[in-house]
Amino acid sequence: MAPAVVFAIPVLKLAWTLGGGDAARDALLAMGPANWVDVVIGMFFAEPVLAVVLAAVLSYIGYAYRAAHGGAARRQGRALAETAARAAILPGALGVVVGAFNGLWWGVAAGVLGYLLRLGVVAEYRTGARSADTGRRTGRTAVAFGPRAVEAVRVAALLLSLVVLPVLSVVAALDGRSWTSVLMCDVDTGAGPQRARLVELDRQAPGVVGWDVPAHEVVSGTNCATDPDDVLRAPWWRR
């Protein structure tokens, strides 16, 4: 689900925010492949809850995949403390990134949530709920508190990956807010320079390449000033 967020949601964000598929295509061509990830980063900046969930899901999916494909078998002889410490590396790193974008406590939440999901994977193999050899569930019934807690973490990880992350991503894509800077610039399309509201797509000396919101086209702008209002259109659910 996380790869779908990275590749599909930016297209939806562009199409809705700019007003249609043709607008999204023109904007993508103006941005170029190198700036594709700017849309995801912009959403990452603006939506701290989405950032936390995405970071946690990325931590979980990568760890669970590697464990099921030989990682758990290789860790069988390793001390639990070492396994737990190694499991904290990526969630901690992603927590730092989320914290830098959105604030300390959002970063802490991302790191802790991702780490707990990874510990759930460790516990699945340690309790025998999954086979270290095949990565498949063994079918053992969770009766004691420990196995039940492990099962609860597994269900929570699935819900975050398959329900919460897609919903938050679609909401962020359809909220009508810009993913990047909104500027007021001088634009000259042949009738003399006029001030226009642009969504920045790329920076090129001496100005920017942007999406002219009123004119609905890609233009070049100079003498730009930041517009504090990043709302370009009403959210989808208010149309």
Task: Kindly give, in sequence order, each residue whose CB lies less than 8 Å from that of residue 3, ignoring residues fewer than 6 positions away.
Answer: none
Is the separation of the CB atoms in 187 and 221 below 8 Å? yes
Tell me: do 78 and 104 sit in the same domain: yes
Question: 3-state SS of the chain: helix, strand, coil percent to 5?
Answer: 60, 15, 25
Rounded mean pLDDT, 120-148: 65
- d(CA 6, CA 11) in angstroms, rounded, equals 10
Confidence band of 23 (pLDDT split at 50, 70, 90) = confident
Is residue 166 domain-shared with residue 207, that is, in the same domain? no
Where do we find the tokens 């709302």? 231
Residues 142 and 192 in one domain: no
Query: Which letter, b or e, does each residue of 124-146 get, where b requires 16 or more Cβ atoms within 10 Å of its Cβ?
Result: bbbbebbebeebeeeeeeeeeee
159 and 229: one domain? no
Range of the domain at 195: 182-238
- pLDDT tens, 157-216? 999 999 999 899 899 989 999 988 899 999 987 777 889 999 998 887 788 998 998 888
Rg for the chain (alpha carbons), in Å?
Answer: 22
**33 and 9 within one domain:** yes
pTM for this model (two decimals): 0.82
pLDDT on residue 6:
66
Letter for the amino acid at 197?
A: R
Are 127 and 17 found together in one domain?
A: yes
What spatial distance separates the first Cα and last Cα of the chain, rounded to whole Å?
28
Higher-confidence position of 226 and 130: 226
If asked whether residues 107 and 222 sit together in one domain, one would say no
Residue 74, pLDDT > 50, answer: yes
Do 57 and 76 share a domain, yes or no?
Answer: yes
Question: What is the model's pLDDT at position 143?
Answer: 43
For 94, the token pair is: 């992603």
